[in-house]
Structure formats: structure tokens, C-alpha cells
Amino acid sequence: MVRQFAAIRAWLDDALWRIPAEPLPRARAWLFRFLQIAIVLARDLAQGQLTLRAMGLVYTTLLSIVPLLALSFSVLKAFGVYNQIRPMLLNFLAPLGEKGVEITARIVQFIENVNVGVLGSVGLALLLYTAVSLVQKIEEAFNFIWHVSRSRGIGERFSRYLSALLVGPLLVFSAIGITAGVASLGLVREAMEVEGISWLAVHAGRVVPYLLVIGAFTFVYTFMPNTRVRLGPALAGGVAGGILWQSAGWAFALFAASSTNYAAIYSSFAILILFMLWLYLSWLILLFGANVAFYAQHPEYLVAQGGEPQLSNRMRERLALVIMGRIARRHLEGEAPLSADALAQSLHAPMRAVDAVLAALHAGGILAPTGTEPVGWLPARDLAELSVKALLDAVRASGENRFLNPQSLAGSEAIDQLLRRSDDAAEAALRGVSVRDLAASAAKPE
């Protein structure tokens, strides 16, 4: 039995992960891609990183929910739509049933008790920090999923976060108000009495909640990661996450309705426990959809083994030569600088590997970042004077510091002579070859 299982697993690994010599038919290729994504998503859930991030967001949400809502909906008071807070919370907590109504009443009461005028400057700063910290934790979780090591600057964080917290609710409730206003028009009510239109409206009412959640998830997947997310992958993640979240709400409602035993055991804490469970499930679904969007945009991460792909020394040197060749070619032809994301997508290489090579070339004084957003990369030295040997030396020396370097590692004279002979041979083989020559001889990427 064990041998048969191992044989089946080996056949699946060979069929799914081996790069075919010839292109597969479109239907078969789509099937294999779907199976690869399903296996990788299941593996990510089993490894526990998504669940750990979701649990961290639950803790941050419990601390930040009242300041967050108080800050977001303080703007709505001036526009007369403050009374829409309760319906929105009731809709989100609908799977909790009657307990959701009680939790909504308590949260709204807490928000009404927050008086910004008596907080003072220090209290207002703490209120803003608490509200922004939740959004920052969400961004960190999304950056982890998208393998992004760089975070946004403090100024950009506050500008983007506060604009989302203050302007976002206003736009949402304005759209709700416009929709309600259109639905109350006499012409619309008369049209609803027509049999065919009324049937269509009933079924559209069942689909609209899914579309709204999918749209919200798609916006979050586009807005939150500190990288460029294309609309197609974000929509794919929004569809997966939105359908799953809406469907999970029905299942959780059945669970909450049958949770009388929990009330008998935990007493008044049962409400808090159910609320935390629903928060955890909601965050986990949101992160799961982000994972779908990531793999849809970066299929190069669909590999048999989990974790960040580790490059060998020769692959790191080869990647450095390819990256430098493309950057140098665009520079010589007067085209716009390439960003790390553009390089990763064009090379079908992991983002972390591209970032590591760019950081090594930057530390070696070979590349310099632009001041634009997204950050592009330009040659920092004259390409005709920059040798390929210096480029490879910069990649080889990456990661060395004053505590761990060739001089600090004890060795023998024979080892030192052997390494010097290898280095001299490479110097002789690459003598006279500049990065400009590399860019001129390299084939232009498609």
C-alpha cells in the first residue's frame, strides 16, 4: 500500500511539476494549472503561516475596531449618514444571528461614547495610531503573501491609510444611498411590477451581495500590497475569496444557531468567542483570496516544494548577468528603467531572488535606484568601464560583513592558493569583457 501511494505521488509530481518539452493543449494546460494552484494553496494552509497571520489580525482587530470605526465614521456624521453604521455592522455580523445584534449594539455604543473633543492631542494621536495600526498589520500580511520585503514609508502609510479610512466609508455609503434612491423612484417601482422584470430582480438580489463582496475583495487585493497587482489576478482572488466568504457566512450562521451548548459552558463569554471565531474565519478567507491572486500573477512560485526558492551560486550569478544585461540594454536605448517587479515578471523568477541580486549590485556600486515609484534601476557606473568580472565579484561578495568574511574564516595556505588560482583564471577568461559588451551581445527580450 505504501509503495502504491509512493508510486502515485511520484506520477503526480512528474505530471504536474515537470516542465513539458512541448506545449500542452490549452484545456490540459488549464487543468494542470488549476491542480497546481489547488495543491499549493492547500500546502500553504497546512504550513500554518496564513492561519498564524489571521490569528494576529484577530487580536489587532479586537484592539482597533472601536477607534477604527470611530475615526472612519466621524466623517459620516457631517453628511448625515451616521445611521448607516448599524446596518453595515449587522450585515457583517449576520452569521452570528441574535448574538450579532447584541455585539452590534455594544460596538455602536462604544463609538458613540468616543468624544474626540475631550481626548486632547495625545489622545487623538493614540486614536489615529490605533486605527492605522490595523491597516498596517493588514499590509504586512499581504506583503508576506506577495513576497514583498519592502514596506511603505511612514508618510505614504499615513496618507494612504487615512484617505482610505476617511474617504472610503463616505464613498461606500454614497453608493448605497444612490442605489436606494434609484430603487425608490416611481418608474422603478412600476417596472418591478412587470412579471419578467420582477423575476430578474429577485435573482439579481441574490447575486448582488456576491458581486459587492467580490468587488470589495478585489479592491483590497489591488490596494494593500506594496507592489503592483494586475486587475486580472486581483479579480481572480476577489472571486475566490468573495464566494467563499459569502458561502462561509451561511455555514457559520447554522453553526451559531446551534451553539446553545457553548452558551451553557462559557456563559456570557460565548458571544465574544463566536465573534472571534467569525473574525478569524473572515481574515483567513481574505488572506486565502490574496494567495489565489498572488499565484495567478506569479505562476513561477507554483513549485513542488514550499517555501522561498533558494538559488544556487551559479544561478545567482546567471541571474545577475541577465538582469544587468537587460538594465544596461534599456539604458543604452534610452528606455524607461526596469523595476524589480517588471524584472521578476519578465524573467519568471521569484521576487525575493530578484531583490537579492539587485541589493547585491546596489551594495557593490553597480546599480542605483531611481527616485520614482515604483523604483527603477539604472547603471551607477560607466558601462564601458564596468567589467563583467566586477559584476560577478559583487554578487559573490553579497552577504559578507566584518564578522563573517573570507579573512575571518580560518583556512590553510593551500586553500588560499587554490582560490586565488581560480580567481585568476576567471580574471583571465573575462579580461576585456565589459557590461556594455554584454548588453550589446545579449538577445533583446521579447
Mean pLDDT, range 346-359, rounded to an integer: 82
pLDDT of residue 275: 81
- Reported as a pLDDT band with limits 50, 70 and 90, residue 101 is confident
Q: Look at residue 169 in the predicted model and tell me its pLDDT.
A: 58
So what's the pLDDT on residue 14?
Answer: 67
Among 31-40, 285-294, 328-337, 436-445, the least confident range: 436-445
**119 has a pLDDT exceeding 60:** no
Range in 223-227, 271-275, 288-292, 316-320 with the lowest mean pLDDT = 271-275
What average pLDDT score do residues 399-409 get?
70
The pLDDT of residue 286: 92
Helix 313-332, helix 340-347: angle, nearest 10 = 110
Checking if the pLDDT of 384 tops 80, the result is: yes
Q: Give the chain's mean pLDDT.
A: 76
Least confidently predicted of 86-100, 149-163, 364-378: 149-163
The per-residue pLDDT for 185 is 45
Question: How much is the pLDDT for 233?
Answer: 92
Domains and CATH numbers, the chain: 2-17+26-47 (no CATH), 49-301 (no CATH), 319-441 (1.10.10.10)
Q: Sorting pLDDT into bands at 50, 70 and 90, what band is 377?
A: very high
Average pLDDT for 355-370: 88
Question: What tens digit of pLDDT does each residue of 152-164 get?
Answer: 766 666 666 666 6
- More confident site: 269 or 115: 269
Weakest mean pLDDT among 22-26, 38-42, 291-295, 372-376: 22-26
Across the beta sheet with 376-379, what order do the strands follow? 338-339, 376-379, 367-369
Higher-confidence position of 353 and 188: 353
Burial zone of 408 (CB within 10 Å; 0-12 exposed, 13-18 middle, 19+ buried): exposed
The answer to whether residue 180 scores a pLDDT higher than 50 is no
pLDDT at 237: 93
Residue indicated by cell numbers 458581486: 211
Q: b/e map of 137-149 (b: 16 or more CB within 10 Å)?
A: bbbbbbbbbbbbe
Q: Do 364 and 373 meet the contact criterion of CB atoms below 8 Å apart?
A: no
Assess whether pLDDT exceeds 50 at residue 181. Answer: no
- Reported pTM: 0.70
pLDDT at 232 over 80: yes
Compute the residue count for the chain.
446
**Mean pLDDT, residues 241-250:** 86
Q: What is the pLDDT of residues 294-327, one digit of tens each?
A: 988 888 777 766 666 677 788 888 999 999 989 9
Q: Give 182's pLDDT tier (boundaries 50, 70, 90).
A: very low
CA 435 vs CA 358, 376, 389, 429: distances in Å? 15, 19, 9, 15
pLDDT, greater one: 428 or 131? 428
Q: Are 65 and 107 in contact (CB under 8 A)?
A: yes
- Is the pLDDT assigned to residue 193 strictly greater than 60? no
SS3 61: helix
Percent of the chain residues past pLDDT 90, beyond the cut: 7
